[in-house]
Amino acid sequence: MRKHQISITLILMLVIIQLGYAQKIEYANPIAEQRADPWVHKTDSGTYYLIATVPEYDRIVIRKAQSINGLKNAEEKTIWQKHKTGDMGSHIWAPELHWIDGKWYIYFAAAPAEDIWEIRIWALSNPSKDPMEGEWKEEGRIVTQNSSFSLDATSFEHNGKRYMIWAQRVGDGTGLILSEMKTPTTLTGPEVIISKPEFSWERMKYNVNEGPAVIKKNGKIFVAFSASATNHNYCMGLLWADGNDNILDAANWHKSPGPVFYTNDEVKRFGPGHNSFTVAEDGKTDIMIYHARDYKEITGHELSDPNRATRARVIKWIESGFPDFMQNTGD
C-alpha cells in the first residue's frame, strides 16, 4: 500500500513538473540576426510570418514557420527589390505585413534613388493565400495631407473602422499621426497628431517618435512607439486611449512620462525598440517582437551598423490593465 502511494505521489509530481514546463514560454533569442524593425504576423491557422528591415536597405524579405522559435532557421525569401532609379530606389525600411479584406498588404518606407532622404510610405498587395507565393503588386504611395518625411506605417481595426498610424515630420522631429482609412491604401482623414517628442528620453541626439505598434486589451488601445536615435539611446514609450472614446481626438490619448523599455547593460540589451505584437503558440500569451543590439559602442553612424537583431519576449499585464514590459528581465 505504501509503495502504491509513493508511486501515485511520484506520478503527480511529474505531471506538475511537466505542466510547469509546458506553461513556460522561452525563445531562442535572437530569432533573426541582422533584422531590424521586425513585424510578426500570426495567421488564424497558426503560421507565423516575419518581415523586417535588412541592413542593406535594398529589398523586402519574408520567412515563415509554425512557431516563433521556428522563424530562427526558416528559409527566407526576397519578395520585392528596390528600383534602380526613381521612386522606391533607396532606404527600404520597416516593412509590415497585414491581411486585410482577403488580401495581403505590405506597408514600407522608401525614398527616390536620387534623393535618399525624401522618405515616404508605400504599399504592395498580393491576393495569394501565402504571402511568400504569388505576385506582389505595387500599389503606389500612401498619400498624406502634408508631403514630408514619413515612415513606419501600421494599420489596425477598431469598432468596425480601419486606421493607420505613422511617423512624420512634425516641427523639429517626427511625431505620430493617426487617420481613418477609406481603403487599405487610402487615407480619409482627419490626420491627427497623437504624440510628438516632448520629454528628454524622446530627444536624445534626434527628436523622434516612430515605429508605432498597436495592441488592444482591457478596454484600451495601447500604442508602443520608439524614440530617440537608433543607438543605445533608442527606447520605447507607451500611448493609450480608452476604446470607447473618440480616438481621432488627440486629447483622448495619454503618454507614459518615462520610457517603458530601454537599454539594460546587465542583460546586454542596447537600444531596444521598433516592436510589434503577436500571440504565442498557446493562442493567449502576448508576445513582443523587437530589435536590439547586444553591445553599446558603435563604430560610425548607427544606421550603418548591421547588428540590430530580432528578439521575442513575453509581456505581462498588471492589475490596472496596463502592459508590463519587464525592463529588468532578460529575454
> Which residues are known catalytic residues?
37, 210
Which residues lie closer than 8 Å to 126 by C-beta, 6 or more apart? Answer: 103, 104, 105, 106, 134, 135, 136, 137
**10 Å Cβ neighbour count for 101?**
8
Look up residue 17 and give its DSSP letter: H
Beta bridge partners of 180: 163
Please return the burial class of 49, using the count of CB atoms within 10 Å of its CB with bins 0-12, 13-18 and 19+.
buried
CA distance 19 to 137: 46
Whether the Cβ atoms of residue 261 and residue 325 lie closer than 8 Å to each other: yes
Per-residue burial over 187-214, b if 16 or more Cβ lie within 10 Å, else e, is beeebbebbbbeeebbbbebbbbbbbbb
Instruction: Copy the grid coordinates of residue 55.
Output: 541592413
CA distance 274 to 174: 14
CA distance 160 to 5: 58
